[in-house]
Structure 1
Amino acid sequence: MAKESFIKGTLILAAAALIARVLGVVQRVPLEHMLGVSGGAAFGLASNVYLMLLTFATAGIPSTLGKMVSEKYALNRPQEAQRIYFAAILFGLGMGGLITALLYIFAPVYAKMSSVPEATLAIRALAPALILFPVIAMMRGYFQGRNQMAPGGISQIIEQILRVITAVGLAYLFLTWGYSEEKMAAGASFGGVLGSIGAFLVMLYYARKLKKADREAGLARNGQDKSVIMPLRQIYKDIFKLSIPIVITSLAVPIIYFIDSSIIVPILKGQIGEPLAKEALKVLTMNAQSIAGIPPILAIALSTSIIPIISSAFARKEMDHLNKQVTLALRIAILSGTPIVLILCTAAFSVNGLLFSSTNGSGIISLLTFCTIFQIVMMVSGSILFGLGRPKTPMFHVMIGIAVKLAGSFTLGYIFGIYGIVGSTMLCFAVTMYLNQRSLKQIVDFKILGSRWAGFLTTVIALAGIGYLIEWAGNQLTHVMHARIAYFISSSLVGLVLIVLYPVMLVVFRVVTQQELSSYPRPLRKVFQPLMRLQRGQAVQSSDS
């Protein structure tokens, strides 16, 4: 695959992931208003256990399958590629059926262990979605191996659209019919099932289209040549050997959210009572995790576009170019993620009041959103290690981070309550991020910001102060107008002022310089280029400092 098409494919998948994540965040807003405390806690618990199992069943294997299929077609062995695809589909069907059955059977046990027994129906309503998703993941991996990224991206978007429409629509219908919060949460959860059906139909359409194209090109065969039939055992061995590190690394965020939703009520109910503990669970899963999911979207999409270039430079042993690209990927991750984190942290109270039914838990939202700056660097640095041929390294680091998370949650949770549990999430991300960067340093001589950290931190502290000041002033408007209008004005002003001042201050403090601008992705070049006149007349500073 040519480097240009590889990068284009990566960008297609990143764009699809971005749209899908935005839709996933949007879904939580109307649901939070309709479900109430009990329903929100049940839906949040069901969603987190589902996302963890979905990641376990699908993450890693599609990319491994894509790699194996691509290699076989490059060697002109289409029959072997089809055999691998067949084996992957069989595995997907088996894994989907097994996980669905286990989730349905053990839903009451898990819900009771988490002290949210009313979540049983919501978990069972989501379970059927896991029948199809492993198969969909295998099909996406196969198409990636054939250098066709659009089918996977389109199916991902259709899946989220159907999920959102079904979840919100059923929850609203059940609300108008007077159903209980437990049944409303189950209706909202069932959106995942309709989403999986939609995604599967899209993939089937593209599979038939590709099969027809193969037949016309003479790639299809009516029968298998005995000399090229690969044993299924060998295929599975090759797939799992490559995919297990990716699966474990991909589980970092889903398993952390799963841990949180599982332990919050058991830990907190002895401190603040079960009703308030369930409210904390609802705020964390419906409000905080939704808002905290926003900052990584753009940062990871931008930095992901550089990963193929890093892999290519490493394969050719172009170490100088590799150093620059690793530095650039990590720098872009931090620079593009920070302003969103700043806005959402400083305006957490207004954003919470604007989007959700109350301002309860604004501090939780602010703290969890702050954690995402560590999450962003952790995920990007882990991806770079994969690109450098070290898949096991970030896997072990994630395992250490999860151990830190567990120890921290059960220690800090009993001392500081919900803030201790969220704080342990920050420790997990920070430890994993540090370990990833330490391992990267052993391969690549990179500097994220070098001597520019002072200018960057000055920018962050100054903008945080400005943001909090605008937030405080804006919230005074609640005394003279409707609260939601005041929250809209306040959060909009914080966002507008910080998003305008942030690039200006980065240029003024020479965190971003003219010399390196040409290496940035086009969206960032368009932002910073007009501001470079602010650096005229100043001493030129080395771009790699």
Structure 2
Amino acid sequence: MSSKVLRGAFILTLGSVLSKVLGLLYVIPFDALLGEEGAGLYSYSYIPYTIFISLATAGMPLAVSKTVSKYNAIEEYAVSQKLFKSSLKLMVVTGFLAFLLMYAMAPGLASLGSYGKFSEEDLTTVIRAVSFALIIVPAMSIIRGFFQGHQDMKPTAVSQVIEQLVRIIFLLSGAFVVLKILDGDIVTAVSVATFAATIGAIGGLAFLLLYWKKQKPYLNQLLAADKGTVDISLIEVYKEIFFSSIPFIFVAIAMPLFQFVDNLTFSRAMASIGMDRDATTQAFGILNFNTQKLVVIPMTLATAFSMALVPSVTSAFVSSDMNAFRHQLDQAFQILLFVTIPAVIGMAILADPIYTAFYGHNQLGANILATYAPTAILFALFSVSAAVLQGINQQKFTVLGLLVGLLIKLSLNIPLIKLFDTAGAVYATTLGYLAACLLNLYFIRFFTEYSYKLIVKRTMLIFILSGIMALVVWVMESIMFLILDSEGRWQAVLITALCMLFGGLVYAVLSLKSTLAHRLFGNRIEKLQRKLKLKV
């Protein structure tokens, strides 16, 4: 994989990690203010919002990234910039239309989840509060996609962090003012919390516009170097984008669609086994807000790699450089699994102290987190495999894989919830994603003749090293449980931090001893060892 792609992936990863860390840290005061019931109400509104965002953007940001990369590769920079300006105008329009549609449909969406503690009117209020962000986010996403097409990942990474930081500050301060100063109710507080998405988007957009202004001279230089050999109308370009963007929509809403199935079925399935309304609302908040926020952390790298991978895979594929294409996939899959597998295994083992550290002790929450954590491997694989299929112009098969997975989720969700309570929804999600990933991997092999032999061998080694690490972490956790109160938040923080630090060191040493790290990162590991004066 080229240094530019790795650098881009690293920048996106850093931005995503910082954004996710901020998103994790805020749940501690959020939970203290609003509790699991507030988290459940927040989730009921935010899941439809993420679906509407994807429909509003229609997969355009990544499709524009891919198309810009394609025309930049042949030095047709004028086509790229013409496409960007037109797409930006289109996103302003679709964003506003999506806002109007979601605002109008709020009562209907609210009726789907009204079995829980909150009424349809309550759900309608919070859904409408978050819908305003649809006016801004699509335009912001197009600007990010344009710079990604230039293999410049900095604006995406920085704007994500700014957007998240502004959102969290407004969310927490707004909820605090409503509940503690104005003595308002939880519905008003959650409405303010969801409206924070709009304020955060304004912050992210402001940075992107400033960055665009700064980069204008460089973009003008590219225009001056334009070959001008391609005379293509915007209609033809949009036709190309339209057919390539539809799969991007499905990929973007994959996780929200799986969660939306829970919106539709969870409350009624829980009611059928005798669960009361309060317990159902709390369980839904644990499932689709508390644990979900923790589980997506290990797949942060996958998201960054998938975003960085599309332009580079497209360039290699368009250039018919299959050796570079295969090498990029080898590196992407291996580095992805190298990070994700030990992370989810560690999370499953430390589920009890991790959940307690963020939300306070709750046995159901710890059990669901331990069950849910391994699914992050599938989230990561789906993200990257879908990006590869998009990069080789086989997007429609990504849709096929997702639809099969979603059908499995729909078919099994209610039966599994009836058998296993809240954990049943996790099992249905895992089986659905497993089917989608297997289909995506099969299609990659079918169309590119890519061999997974090396990936399978390295994955087995990663599991062996992770298993040794897991045993060490389990022993250490068991000893600390004898000394500290695992149900206390600060003791849980200490247990989690020490076990993660020690487990990470063990895994790092094993990776160096086995030379796995050297095979994946090459000279970079040797340079790091020399700088740190390490001898392994």
State whether TM-score is above 0.5.
yes
Counterparts of residues 285-304 of structure 1 (less than 5 Å): 285-298=288-301, 300-301=303-304
Q: Which has the higher contact order (CA 8 A, sep 6+)?
A: 2
Give the conservation status (yes or no) of the 8 Å contact 1:385–1:394.
yes
Give the conservation status (yes or no) of the 8 Å contact 2:341–2:463.
no
Whole-angstrom CA distance in 1 between matches of 2:76 and 2:310: 28
Post-superposition offset of 1:365: 1.1
> What amino acid sits opposite 2:208 in the alignment?
M
- How has the CA–CA distance of structure 1 residues 492 and 23 changed in structure 2, closer, same or farther, with 3 Å as cutoff? closer
Paired residue for 1:206?
211
- How has the CA–CA distance of structure 1 residues 291 and 448 changed in structure 2, closer, same or farther, with 3 Å as cutoff? farther
Whole-angstrom CA distance in 2 between matches of 1:528 and 1:336: 22
- How has the CA–CA distance of structure 1 residues 16 and 483 changed in structure 2, closer, same or farther, with 3 Å as cutoff? closer
Paired residue for 1:490?
495
Which secondary structure state, in structure 1, belongs to the residue aligned with residue 516 of structure 2?
Answer: coil
> What amino acid sits opposite 1:431 in the alignment?
A
Which secondary structure state, in structure 2, belongs to the residue aligned with residue 190 of structure 1?
Answer: helix
The answer to whether the aligner puts 1:348 opposite 2:351 as a matched pair is yes
Match of 2:248 among 240, 243, 246: 246
Paired residue for 1:439?
443
- How has the CA–CA distance of structure 1 residues 82 and 36 changed in structure 2, closer, same or farther, with 3 Å as cutoff? same
Whole-angstrom CA distance in 2 between matches of 1:452 and 1:81: 39
Whole-angstrom CA distance in 2 between matches of 1:330 and 1:242: 23
Match of 2:130 among 117, 126, 131: 126
Give the conservation status (yes or no) of the 8 Å contact 1:16–1:153.
yes
Match of 2:332 among 326, 329, 333: 329
Paired residue for 2:265?
263
Paired residue for 1:368?
372
Counterparts of residues 3-18 of structure 1 (less than 5 Å): 5=4, 8-18=7-17
Higher mean displacement: 149-158 or 365-374: 149-158
Whole-angstrom CA distance in 1 between matches of 2:507 and 2:25: 26
The answer to whether the aligner puts 1:427 opposite 2:445 as a matched pair is no
- How has the CA–CA distance of structure 1 residues 148 and 503 changed in structure 2, closer, same or farther, with 3 Å as cutoff? closer
> What amino acid sits opposite 2:476 in the alignment?
I
- How has the CA–CA distance of structure 1 residues 457 and 196 changed in structure 2, closer, same or farther, with 3 Å as cutoff? closer
Whole-angstrom CA distance in 2 between matches of 1:103 and 1:406: 23
Paired residue for 2:190?
185
- How has the CA–CA distance of structure 1 residues 281 and 349 changed in structure 2, closer, same or farther, with 3 Å as cutoff? same
Give the conservation status (yes or no) of the 8 Å contact 1:159–1:199.
yes
Paired residue for 2:59?
60
Report Cα offsets for 1:325-372 as digits up to 9, x if no partner.
Answer: 423321221111122212211111111111113324111111111211
The answer to whether the aligner puts 1:407 opposite 2:392 as a matched pair is no
Whole-angstrom CA distance in 1 between matches of 2:388 and 2:244: 16
Post-superposition offset of 1:518: 5.0
- How has the CA–CA distance of structure 1 residues 147 and 345 changed in structure 2, closer, same or farther, with 3 Å as cutoff? closer
Paired residue for 1:223?
none
Whole-angstrom CA distance in 2 between matches of 1:324 and 1:144: 21
TM-score (norm 2): 0.86
Paired residue for 1:224?
none
> What amino acid sits opposite 1:254 in the alignment?
P
Which secondary structure state, in structure 1, belongs to the residue aligned with residue 373 of structure 2?
Answer: helix
Paired residue for 1:51?
50
Whole-angstrom CA distance in 2 between matches of 1:131 and 1:304: 23
- How has the CA–CA distance of structure 1 residues 470 and 212 changed in structure 2, closer, same or farther, with 3 Å as cutoff? closer
Counterparts of residues 93-172 of structure 1 (less than 5 Å): 93-115=92-114, 116=118, 117=120, 118-145=122-149, 148-172=152-176
Identity of aligned residues (%): 24
Give the conservation status (yes or no) of the 8 Å contact 1:374–1:429.
yes
Higher mean displacement: 16-25 or 347-356: 16-25
Post-superposition offset of 1:44: 1.7
Post-superposition offset of 1:281: 0.8
Whole-angstrom CA distance in 1 between matches of 2:529 and 2:305: 14
Whole-angstrom CA distance in 1 between matches of 2:478 and 2:165: 36
Give the conservation status (yes or no) of the 8 Å contact 1:409–1:421.
yes
Give the conservation status (yes or no) of the 8 Å contact 2:258–2:409.
yes
TM-score (norm 1): 0.85
> What amino acid sits opposite 2:42 in the alignment?
F
Whole-angstrom CA distance in 2 between matches of 1:236 and 1:122: 35
> Aligned pair count?
523
Which structure 1 residue ranges, 5 or more long, are not aligned? 221-226, 535-545
Paired residue for 2:479?
473
Give the conservation status (yes or no) of the 8 Å contact 2:72–2:80.
yes
The answer to whether the aligner puts 1:381 opposite 2:381 as a matched pair is no
Paired residue for 2:470?
464
The answer to whether the aligner puts 1:504 opposite 2:504 as a matched pair is no
Give the conservation status (yes or no) of the 8 Å contact 1:40–1:282.
yes
Which secondary structure state, in structure 2, belongs to the residue aligned with residue 333 of structure 1?
Answer: helix
Post-superposition offset of 1:106: 1.7
Compute the RMSD of aligned alpha carbons. 3.5
- How has the CA–CA distance of structure 1 residues 338 and 527 changed in structure 2, closer, same or farther, with 3 Å as cutoff? farther
Post-superposition offset of 1:170: 0.7
